[in-house]
Amino acid sequence: MGILTTSKQHAKLAKAIAEPNAPWNEVVWTYLLASVLAMSQHRREHLGLLCGEEVMPPEPFDPWFEAQPMPPRGGYRGRSERNSKIDLAFGDIMRRGNPDGSGIAYAKRPGSWVCFVEAKFLSDCSTTVTHDPLRNQLARVIESLLCFQDTNGNYPERLYFTLLTPRHFLKAENKRSRLYGYKMDEYADQAALLGDIERCLIPERNRAEWGYPDLKQRLLFLRLNWVAYEDIFDQEPDLAGLDLVKIAMSRCIPAKVRSRLEMLKHESSVG
């Protein structure tokens, strides 16, 4: 078992850990959380938190870091949408395309499920899309999840989208300090989520091996969650009690966290 990523992404991580701004870096904390999922004895509890309900992890269980599903918007003459990089993805997933790449597709099995995690450490969700000024990052990632499939047109039976932030931003008085706080509240109404997705100006992808689904049907299987990094770390004895925003503000990673990161930095990527 291990974290599935590319050598390029792992080199980026190793560099990030060594930089003075590591306490601020979303990649550092998200990769650390991925390592917890990959190795922890409490994986079932962690997955229950991230998915919002109990799920049965597939075997082997390998979380994907910065994976790239097929983009649901195709376009033409350059007016298209590149692959979204999903910060963390896990569940019934297999590699797509290049054996050394980060492309992913659905791996069919009974009782299947897939979770896409959008991590936001201190940043907000992006609203910058080259060919569509109305597109926002949450809607884009959720659309990718709703459309996630294999080459035979099969879809996961359950879908989980999880926003991952420091606990500081989950406090009631801070929830709307970021655009994603407004959007997560708004998207509790599936009609609002569908409206944002359907406003996209980029054409839907429809190819012989990949078809755009009926989103109203796919929404029936979607669950949205907002989870704190600390919710997962608190279940690990050597990571319990962290306040990630305080750590970022102090610009100093605690020794117990630093030792874990140093081990991750020297691990080989799983290709």
Say what the pLDDT of residue 270 is: 45
Whether the Cβ atoms of residue 117 and residue 87 lie closer than 8 Å to each other:
yes
Q: How far is CA 253 from CA 33, 134, 264, in A?
A: 15, 37, 15
Whether the Cβ atoms of residue 33 and residue 166 lie closer than 8 Å to each other:
no
Say what the pLDDT of residue 271 is: 45
Say what the pLDDT of residue 265 is: 80
Residue 134 neighbours by CB under 8 Å, 6+ apart: 196, 199, 200, 201
Q: Torsion-angle region of residue 153: left (phi > 0), alpha (psi -120 to 50) or beta?
A: left
For the entire predicted model, the pTM comes to 0.94
**Six-digit token string for 195:** 């409206």
From CA 194, how far away is CA 188, in angstroms rounded? Answer: 11
Say what the pLDDT of residue 269 is: 45
From CA 39, how far away is CA 144, in angstroms rounded? Answer: 27
Residue 70 neighbours by CB under 8 Å, 6+ apart: 83, 96, 103, 105, 144, 147, 149, 205, 210
Question: Could you read off the pLDDT tens digit of each residue along the chain, which spans 271 residues?
Answer: 589 999 889 899 999 999 999 999 999 999 999 999 999 999 999 999 999 999 999 998 999 999 999 999 876 655 667 778 999 999 999 999 888 789 999 999 999 999 999 999 999 998 876 667 778 999 999 999 999 999 999 999 999 999 999 999 999 999 999 999 999 999 999 999 999 999 988 889 888 788 999 999 999 999 999 999 999 999 999 999 999 999 999 999 999 999 999 988 877 444 4
Whether the Cβ atoms of residue 28 and residue 12 lie closer than 8 Å to each other:
no
From CA 139, how far away is CA 151, in angstroms rounded? Answer: 23
Cis peptide before 63 (omega within 30 of 0): no
Say what the pLDDT of residue 75 is: 63
Q: Cα dihedral sign for 66, 69, 72, 77?
A: positive
